[in-house]
Amino acid sequence: MNRIPLNVTCYSGHTYAEEPRSFVWEGVEQQVKDIEKSWVEPGQRCFRVRADCNKLFQLCYNVAQDQWWGIEVQNSKSKV
C-alpha cells in the first residue's frame, strides 16, 4: 500500500504534531473521531485513527521532511 502525502490539522502543545485533529483524504476533509493508537518511530510520530467516515487510517508525521503521510488500513471492527 502506498503512503499518500496529506494535509493534516493537528494539536500542537509543547511540540508540533502532538495529535491529529483532521485530514484531507481523497479531497474530503475527515475529522478524527478517535485515536486508537499512537507511537514514535525513528524520525516520526504515528497514529492509528478512526475518521468520522468510520474508516481506519494510519497517519505519520516525518519530522525531518516536515511532512504528513497516511494510508487507509484494514478495518478490524466488523459492522453488525
Q: Domain map of the chain by residue range? A: 4-73
Q: Each residue of 29-47: pLDDT tens digit?
A: 999 999 999 999 999 999 9
- Contact (CB, 8 A) for 60 and 42: no
In the β-sheet with 67-73, what is the strand arrangement from edge to edge?
A: 4-6, 67-73, 56-62, 44-51, 28-41, 19-25, 8-11
pTM: 0.86
**Nearest alpha-carbon partner for 67 in 15, 16, 33, 2:** 16
Q: What distance in Å separates the CA atoms of residue 3 and residue 72, rounded to the nearest whole number?
A: 9
Q: What distance in Å separates the CA atoms of residue 42 and residue 36, rounded to the nearest whole number?
A: 20
Averaged pLDDT for residues 4-20: 91
